[in-house]
Structure 1
Amino acid sequence: RTMTDDCSSNLSVKLDTHVPSLENLADAFRTALPSNFDTVSVDIVDCPDLSSAPFNLTSPGFGKNLVIAEVGGPGNLFPEIHKQKAFDITTICKTCEHPEAFAFGPGAGPWPIVGVNCEMVADVNCASGRVGTRIARLEKDSYALEQISKPVFSLMANLAVSDAESGQRVVHIKAKKRLGSTNFPDSLRAALVAAFPQQLVSLGGFFILRSGKAKLHVMPDFPGCGHFASEKEIGSEWLKYFEMAAPLVCATVMHSNEGGSHKLRVEHTHCYSDHGDGGHYHYDTTPDEVEYEGWFAPASAVYRIDEI
């Protein structure tokens, strides 16, 4: 099959979520984070101007009327690679009943446009038609970060879809010096699980690794044989890992659970920077010097597209 298999409107299910107030979210983080970070502050603020540095995104803000598009997934890599599936973010926003939205989040870049399989931080403003998506791809023994101008991707993405306007209220978190073994987004997710048990709570947002270093991976091109022998092979042999330096801007989407049978990816974070570093975030490697600052908002629904 050719690359024309567009799956952007293949909606499997719309899941309603529990939407905590920003105050309740802030309380959950205030309760949980001090066990994992030495210094923690949490408040509720206007979203910073995302169109300026260090974000440099196509929308001035995010957070209002937020829903999550949970598209494809690792099931498009294993047991079979479904590289023929194509996804268009403008169509996805329509599928999410939010045609004028700003969409951002982690995913796999569009290999037909980039030329190889790659990592993506989506940045698409459907109201203005602007696209600022970043992709990170392997280049010889290193990697390269670049921008693309089409609102498309392959394989999978976890997209936060919300109003493309400024002045939206979000939860603001600062955390310094990691004490435990849990990474920053996973510690936020653990706070959701603790505060809202048995409920599906979903968040989208950005955080900045302001100091320190982090372990990231960048996907290589697809294997020549066209498939993987095992899931273990993907993580241990195929993916390429690098230590990358702050400041990193990280786009994250998380869910307090997998949404029953619907295989939600409970946490996914991709990063970019203006110094050429970017990819899939795993964890920081410098717990003593690490400093995070993040902005988050809850989603009212999850649209499960191309469930696999």
Structure 2
Amino acid sequence: MLECSENLSAILENHVPPLEELKTVIEGALSANFATVFVDVRKCPDLKRDPFHQTSSGFGHRMVIAEVGGPANLTPVVQKDKIYDIETISAVCGKKNAYVFGPGAGPYPIVGRNCEMVANANLKEKQIKTVTLRNCDKSRGYISEYVSSPKFALMANLALSTSNVQSQVVYFKCEVRTGSANLTNCIRDALQKHYSGKLVSLAGFFIIKDAKTKVHIMPDFPNCPFKDNNELNEWLKYYDMKSPLICATVMHSEEADRHLRLEHTHCFSEHGDGGHYHYDITPKTVVYEGYLAAAEKVYRIDEVYESSSMKSE
């Protein structure tokens, strides 16, 4: 295996808006896409408690993003030899004792096959409780498992902040989707419009309630390269999953000439559902409730980029 965690390509300084300003931007975006909206600035909830079950009691303090690898490690040819390590990446980012969360591709050498990941690591307390989701032969077609390894493959969008600090964050709750955009693209598009020319990166959690949600879980690796994006999309396994779902999300206002993935969100649940979030499929009943904070920097690690024919959504 080729360990790529120390391949630091760039460090990007973010524009960090005041929380009250972010509140206004997010409130405007949600109000254009949901019937009922409430946005506030408040203290982060205790993430160790139900329903989040995280290894840290809070997030957001001195937060940075580690943008690791990318979809180009999957397409057109899978880079199976590459491996990454959350502990090493945290050291590269100058945060050896950080709380780390975010979406990515799981440690297939440990799980036994290609899988999705929701990272969850409190390095200060030496506790890792990452969720992996993979396809299987069981009746519903997939399985969710915890792993205690810091390893992962292909790609991840990781938020690193001070462990066990419940900082101030932007809280939102919105109900009944009236617009066509999903929740994360709705917010990200507003960031891009409002902060044009500036890199603003957000990360956090949201809960999907009273809804069914379209997600995908990657199958095991293909035997030959992907020809185009249509073939990739046909390869993915899609499911309609039930709430509540806990989502970990990272988004950027722009790629910043470093091939940043503009938005990436993975979800998990106590009932075993989860995967890569696409959109809710019951807009008349859906409720979203979440917490977001802005990152100070982006550490671009092992930068890769896709050809135009394989550009990810």
Gaps of 5+ in 2: 305-313
The residue number in structure 2 matching 1:207 is 206
Q: Distance in 2 between matches of 1:80 and 1:118?
A: 17
The residue number in structure 2 matching 1:294 is 290
Q: Distance in 2 between matches of 1:292 and 1:283?
A: 11
Q: Deviations over 1:133-190 (max 9, x none)?
A: 0000001261101100101100000001111113211100001000010000111112
SS of the residue aligned with 1:62?
coil
Gaps of 5+ in 1: none
Task: Report the TM-score, using the length of structure 2 for normalisation.
Answer: 0.95
The residue number in structure 2 matching 1:234 is 232
Q: Distance in 1 between matches of 2:29 and 2:268?
A: 27
Pairing of 1:1-308 with structure 2 (within 5 A): 3=1, 5-140=2-137, 142-225=141-224, 227-235=225-233, 237-260=234-257, 262-308=258-304
Amino acid at match of 2:141: S
Amino acid at match of 2:155: M
Q: Distance in 2 between matches of 1:120 and 1:30?
A: 29
8 A Cα contact 1:68 1:299, kept in partner:
yes
Amino acid at match of 2:212: K
8 A Cα contact 2:61 2:166, kept in partner:
no
Identity across the alignment (%): 53
SS of the residue aligned with 1:180?
coil
SS of the residue aligned with 2:26?
helix
Q: Distance in 2 between matches of 1:32 and 1:276?
A: 31
8 A Cα contact 1:49 1:166, kept in partner:
no
Instruction: Judge which range, 193-202 or 20-29, deviates more.
Output: 193-202
CA-CA distance at 1:126 after TM superposition: 1.0
Amino acid at match of 2:228: S
SS of the residue aligned with 2:223?
coil
Q: Deviations over 1:164-218 (max 9, x none)?
A: 1132111000010000100001111122122212111000100000211100000
Task: Report the TM-score, using the length of structure 1 for normalisation.
Answer: 0.96
SS of the residue aligned with 1:172?
strand
Q: Distance in 2 between matches of 1:231 and 1:112?
A: 26
Aligned length: 302
Q: RMSD of aligned C-alpha atoms?
A: 0.9
Amino acid at match of 1:247: P
CA-CA distance at 1:76 after TM superposition: 0.2
